[in-house]
Amino acid sequence: MPTTATAASTITVDGRTVPIGQARNLLEVVRASGVDLPTFCYHSELSVHGACRLCVVDVKGRGVMASCSTPPEAGMEVVTRTEPLRRMRRTSVELLLAAHNPEGPSCDRAAACELQDVARKVGVERVRFKPMGRDLPLDRTSAAVHRDPSKCILCGDCVRMCAEVQGVSALDFAHRGAATTVQPAFGRGLGEVDCVGCGQCARVCPTAALIPAPEIEPAWKLLTAPSTTAVAQIAPAVRVAIGERFGLPAGAETTGRMVAALRRLGFAKVYDTTFTADLTVWEEGAEFVRRLRSSDEGPLPLMTSCCPAWVKWVEQFRPDALPNLSSCRSPQGMFGGLARRLLPKALGIEAKDLAVVSIMPCTAKKAEAAREELRSEGRREIDHVLTTEELARMIDGAGIRLGDLEPEPFDQPFGMKTGAGLLFGASGGVAEAVLRYADAVLGDGSRRDAVWEEVRGPGALRVATATIGGRTIRVGVVSGLRNAGQVLDDVKAGRLALDIIEVMACPGGCVNGAGQPRPARGAVDSRTAAIHRADRCEHRQNSADNEEVGKLYKNTLGEPGSHTSHELLHTTYRPRRRIDDLDLLLTAGEPGGKLLTTVCLGTSCHLRGSQGVLRGLLDAVDAKGWGAQVDVRATFCLEQCASGPNCKIGKEVLTATTVDKAVAEIGAQLAARPQG
């Protein structure tokens, strides 16, 4: 039975008694009372920053306090609305507006600008302060996220998201005072540092200083080109979020109307990425079974490869784990390979006239589509990737009223799906789909269509144990890259035993991708629930029962893991430099004819002792008097991570380097140089 709140567990908010409950700060209690205090820098999943000062309240006996950083104490008397508080909030917003470089209607957030929304709520009618007028260069180096530092208000949301949730720290504060900025390391662009493209920084940015890399205009050009036949694929998570942009509740079913809208926009065919999600289960499931049966087929745990931000994270931060990654492309990538091979003939067009556009909830899919591995015959297999938000803008821009459209079906055969494929839209969905498939092909089939509650639910890590075909299978589900790093550490140290690990970079999975409409509180849970409902509503819940996938194997692919399957549905990975093309000069002077020697200090080489090699090499160069002939530098990757520590001397890359080995090579190259 519910208990009655007592004075020992309540505070007073604007004269009303409110229970403290599990609230971590006054802000949460105030919001629970029905008062939605404005904030820019507060997100429940991040640490408290207290920078914007919008959530100030007046606590009796203590004065004005920031509610986000004040723990609730029983008996507190809190007032949220006084004239001094309103003046403080207005002044804070005016200062933010003065620091922000607006673009009016052309701003990416013009229709949903948090800064303008808060300004209206707190009653700002004019800005009394002189605009800073910063005109800083745009950063368009990343295929996933673009950055406009002129719009940054230094709230720090992106910095904390990248560090605390993703563990990447691609952005941080730099300089001091009025010169303070948020930027990547060394003043580089986002595409030149260790950003993985997840876009979660853009999801929490309130001012469009960070946005998904825009592709609306090139998509329009494809749709209006007379010789081009454009087709679209739609990811599972898009259908449970796009309705929010048109006034529908989170999780509202919009699939059929979205298909109709895409045809109105000019797409010749509209396909469902859920089809290739089912295909991914066949391929990845077969790969998993092969690894279970023989270590020669690859190491365990098998790690899913559906999330391109996670894949890039492994390439950059944990290249030693690359053999554990499934070689399967993501469902988007699989669709691209199939489309280029099969659709020109099916549609009666020249291959050069086919354009493929993806509708994705994610910014990392933009970067994935640009990868060299997803090119065939000299061109990208996926021409453009539009986010859910970008599609909504195109629908709006075309004057199409989504709510008035009659639902239409997907085109076949790439429109057939099962509930298991739809589950890819939420954290735990890939693992659940693979478990159902494994039970169908290895087990007794008793849980082939079951709901595996063990891999669902909240939490950064969920572990499930299933007995299938007489074998115990240990499954781990992780969301958020920082959490993924901890899981890999635990597996490597023997603290956690797993056979398969599903990782999604975005907390909660694709439903919370950076390309989705900015979610109101509770929206992500509603989207996830809608994905689970859609699974139950499908006639088939197991990817093994997708008849069109079966026909595809019979007519084109042969069998899972075949040569043709690997050609169209699989890919390769490689270690990647975390900071692009950057060396650190560690001896005086410019190279100017000197023998350039670089030692990798990347994570893998560092763990193998490259720091000691670097120190020893510097000492040896000094002791031998080579300072006038040799420049020693540190670098961050020579792309030989499995065989470090690595050192590059001139054009020669040494692996498993020791100081003696490097000194001998330097001596040999110096001796071979022409004298005089």
Query: Is 661 one of the annotated active-site residues of the chain?
Result: no
Name the domain count of the chain. Answer: 4
What pairs with residue 479 in β-bridges?
Answer: 504
The CATH number for 134's domain is: 3.30.70.20
- pLDDT tens for 100-122 read 666 655 566 655 677 777 888 87
158, 162, 201, 306: which one is catalytic?
306
Is the residue at 124 inside a domain?
A: yes
Q: 508 and 655 share a domain?
A: no
Is the residue at 629 inside a domain?
A: yes
Strands 647-649 and 595-600: what pairing?
antiparallel
- pLDDT tens for 484-517 read 999 999 999 999 999 999 999 999 999 999 999 9
Buried residues in 378-402 as b, exposed as e (16+ CB within 10 A): eebbbbbbbbbbbbbbbbeeeebeb
pLDDT value at residue 130: 73
Strands 471-479 and 461-468: what pairing?
antiparallel
244, 368, 432, 502: which one is catalytic?
368
| DSSP secondary structure code for residue 139 in this structure | B
What mean pLDDT is predicted for residues 391-402? 95
pLDDT value at residue 548: 96
What are the angstrom distances between the C-alpha of 343 and each of 86, 134, 216, 283, 412? Answer: 60, 49, 23, 21, 11
Rounded distance, CA 399 to CA 401, Å?
6
User: What percent of the chain clears pLDDT 70, i.e. is strictly above it?
Assistant: 94
Per-residue confidence at 1, pLDDT binned at 50, 70, 90? very low
The CATH number for 32's domain is: 3.10.20.740
pLDDT value at residue 202: 95
- Dihedral sign, CA of 562, 564, 569, 571? positive
Which residue, among 493, 499, 430, 491, has the nearest Cα to 467 in the 3D structure? Answer: 499
Rounded distance, CA 496 to CA 474, Å?
10
Sequential DSSP letters for 574-588: ----SSTT-EEE-SS
Query: Is 350 one of the annotated active-site residues of the chain?
Result: no
pLDDT value at residue 120: 82
pLDDT value at residue 109: 61
Query: Is 453 one of the annotated active-site residues of the chain?
Result: no
pTM (2 d.p.): 0.82
What mean pLDDT is predicted for residues 206-221? 94
Structural domain for 589, as ranges: 583-672
Q: 519 and 629 share a domain?
A: no
253: left (phi > 0), else alpha (psi -120 to 50), else beta?
beta
Q: 339 and 422 share a domain?
A: yes
- pLDDT tens for 284-298 read 999 998 898 888 888
Q: 276 and 130 share a domain?
A: no
Highest mean pLDDT among 3-17, 404-418, 593-607, 622-636: 404-418
Q: 557 and 655 share a domain?
A: no
> What's the angle, vertex CA 93, arms to CA 91 and CA 96, rounded to 5?
110
Helix (H) or strand (E) holding 630: strand 630-635
In the numeric block, the tokens 């691209």 are attached to 336
Asked if 31 and 38 touch (Cβ cutoff 8 Å), the reply is no
pLDDT value at residue 2: 38
- pLDDT tens for 359-382 read 999 999 999 999 999 999 889 999
pLDDT value at residue 133: 66
Is the residue at 574 inside a domain?
A: no
| DSSP secondary structure code for residue 325 in this structure | B
Q: Per this entry, what is the length of the chain?
A: 676
Asked if 423 and 534 touch (Cβ cutoff 8 Å), the reply is no
pLDDT above 50: residue 72: yes
Q: 228 and 100 share a domain?
A: no
Out of 5-19, 165-179, 249-263, 538-552, pick the least confident. 5-19
Query: Is 365 one of the annotated active-site residues of the chain?
Result: yes
Q: 329 and 449 share a domain?
A: yes
pLDDT value at residue 38: 85
Rounded distance, CA 359 to CA 47, Å?
32
510, 600, 605, 637: which one is catalytic?
510
End-of-domain residue from the set 569, 603, 619: 569
Is the residue at 577 inside a domain?
A: no
What mean pLDDT is predicted for residues 216-237? 96
What mean pLDDT is predicted for residues 239-251? 94
Q: 625 and 549 share a domain?
A: no
Highest mean pLDDT among 322-331, 590-599, 628-637: 322-331
End-of-domain residue from the set 212, 241, 263: 212
94, 215, 284, 502: which one is catalytic?
284
Query: For residue 190, how many C-alpha atoms fall within 13 Å in the half-sphere facing its CB?
Result: 34
pLDDT value at residue 111: 59
Q: 273 and 301 share a domain?
A: yes
What mean pLDDT is predicted for residues 185-205? 93
365, 366, 417, 648: which one is catalytic?
365
- pLDDT tens for 566-617 read 999 999 998 887 666 555 545 444 455 789 999 998 878 888 899 899 989 9
Q: 62 and 119 share a domain?
A: no
The CATH number for 278's domain is: 3.40.50.1780
Q: 412 and 492 share a domain?
A: yes
Query: Is 284 one of the annotated active-site residues of the chain?
Result: yes
Sequential DSSP letters for 219-234: HHHHHH-TT-EEEEEE
Which residue, among 306, 291, 252, has the nearest Cα to 421 in the 3D structure? Answer: 306
Rounded distance, CA 669 to CA 649, Å?
8
Query: Is 373 one of the annotated active-site residues of the chain?
Result: yes
Rounded distance, CA 136 to CA 403, Å?
41
Is the residue at 26 inside a domain?
A: yes
What mean pLDDT is predicted for residues 628-646? 85
End-of-domain residue from the set 48, 81, 114: 81
Q: 529 and 592 share a domain?
A: no
Query: Is 326 one of the annotated active-site residues of the chain?
Result: yes
Query: Is 366 one of the annotated active-site residues of the chain?
Result: no
Mean pLDDT of the chain: 90
CB atoms within 10 A of CB 649: 25
Is the residue at 196 inside a domain?
A: yes
The CATH number for 600's domain is: 3.40.30.10
Is the residue at 526 inside a domain?
A: yes
Is the residue at 578 inside a domain?
A: no
102: left (phi > 0), else alpha (psi -120 to 50), else beta?
beta
pLDDT value at residue 589: 40
67, 142, 326, 604: which one is catalytic?
326
User: What percent of the chain clears pLDDT 90, i.e. is strictly above it?
Assistant: 67
What mean pLDDT is predicted for residues 214-238? 96
pLDDT value at residue 282: 96
Asked if 195 and 168 touch (Cβ cutoff 8 Å), the reply is yes
pLDDT above 70: residue 20: yes
350, 373, 547, 652: which one is catalytic?
373
